[in-house]
Structure 1
Amino acid sequence: MNVSQKMETEEDLLTCLRVKLYHPQQSGRGLYTLLPLGKRCRHSADDPLRLGRDATACTYALADPRVSRKQLALHAYRSPQSPDMLFTIQNLSQRARLSVNSAALGYLERADLPDKALIRFGEYEIVIILESGDAKGSFEVEFEVLAVPPSRETCMCVPSMTPVMDTGSCVTNGFSAEFTAIGPLETDETLMCHF
């Protein structure tokens, strides 16, 4: 087989890491001016993708002096059990802890990156969503900015419902006194709501 037959073709669907960023003071501060927002960038799978404030040492940089020179790295890999490209995330910062879905990583510690992960360091909240593809030698990265912190979007109940802490049941916001007059429910009772 010659070299041209082994190379990826334009038709190959590339794995994509969708990186959604949020910082409480992101408006007007220019934190993301060094990132290619809204466009997909191709990245070689054998090269770690680094994010930090140093644009020469990192693949992508944040214009924020509070971010470590090298903050984190994403490493692509494959396993014999899966045809998909998989990733690990590594904390490269000696001074800041990094959390992946609430699991803390110390300096140089790594964790497998799930298909959807909430990454936190400093005041940053980053959601990384992994979209599988066929290509084996490269993947794409796409950055976007979120208007609200992604941690606010996580609720164990239906989105239009508010949890009741003492029972664990959900009571719908905006429903009439018919539902609120019932009071707290016992743990073995259920409240049926039809939407």
Structure 2
Amino acid sequence: MNVSQTQTMETEEDHTCLHIKLYHPQQSCRGLYGLLPLGTRSRHSADDPLRLGRDAQTCTLALNDNRVSRKQLALHAYRSPKNPDMLFTIQNLSQRGQLSVNSSALGYLEKADLPDKALIRFGEYEMLIIREPGEAKGHFEVELEILAVPPSRETCMGVPSMTPVMDTGSCAMSSFPGELRAHGPLETDETLWCNS
């Protein structure tokens, strides 16, 4: 098989795509996303980490925000013997702040497996990452989009009788009796139901 046939086969394969949806509360009045390739799919080599941060020289995706670390986070592609899909881990590269993945905090250099749909938070940023599986082995694609509302708010809206709590991003039940609502947002493991 010659080189042009190999390249044609690679381009005909479906690529795994990471749909990354970003939100920041002051995104409309600041040029935070001016360095990002918004609205287009960009192709990345699976053996290179995808870095996001302030430094456009060392990061694949750069944010124009001095409050973001030079290197904020990295996404690493990998494969496992039991799963044919390209999977990803996320790593916190910031020494200044924590990164959370679906409410689980990661400290400096800590890694976690990235689920198919993940809510990532750092500073005032929220990122919703959705993995669309594909067949290509050596590359994956990234599609960036800006959200008008925080993704934490959108994830709460799909659940009946849930309303978003803007300061924490967590969901508080609105169907509780008044005396229970007065105690503030409930944790899922609290047993106030038994005490009433």
TM-score band (shorter)?
Answer: 0.7 to 0.9
2:117 maps to 1:116: yes
Contact 2:161 2:174 in 1 (8 A): no
Cα displacement (A) at 1:10: 1.8
Contact 1:38 1:143 in 2 (8 A): yes
The answer for the alignment partner of 1:158 in structure 2 is 160
- Give the distance between the partners of 2:161 and 2:77, measured in 1 at CA: 34
Give 1:78's aligned amino acid: R
Structure having the higher helix fraction is: 2
The answer for the alignment partner of 2:136 in structure 1 is 135
The answer for the alignment partner of 2:46 in structure 1 is 45
Cα displacement (A) at 1:9: 2.3
Between the aligned residues of both structures, percent identity stands at 73
Cα displacement (A) at 1:28: 2.3
The answer for the alignment partner of 2:169 in structure 1 is none
The answer for the alignment partner of 1:173 in structure 2 is none
Unaligned 5+ segments in structure 2 are: 164-172, 179-192
Give 1:46's aligned amino acid: D
The answer for the alignment partner of 2:25 in structure 1 is 24
Give 1:58's aligned amino acid: C
Cα displacement (A) at 1:11: 1.1
The answer for the alignment partner of 1:176 in structure 2 is none
Unaligned 5+ segments in structure 1 are: 168-186, 188-195
- Give the distance between the partners of 1:157 and 1:119, measured in 2 at CA: 20
Output the aligned Cα RMSD. Answer: 2.1
- Give the distance between the partners of 1:146 and 1:154, measured in 2 at CA: 13
The answer for the alignment partner of 1:54 in structure 2 is 55
Contact 2:161 2:175 in 1 (8 A): no
The answer for the alignment partner of 1:180 in structure 2 is none
- Cα separation, partners in 2 of 1:3 and 1:159, compared to 1, 3 Å: farther
Contact 1:157 1:163 in 2 (8 A): no
Cα displacement (A) at 1:87: 0.1
Contact 1:84 1:132 in 2 (8 A): yes
Rg: which structure is higher? 1
Paired residues, what number? Answer: 168
Give 1:103's aligned amino acid: S
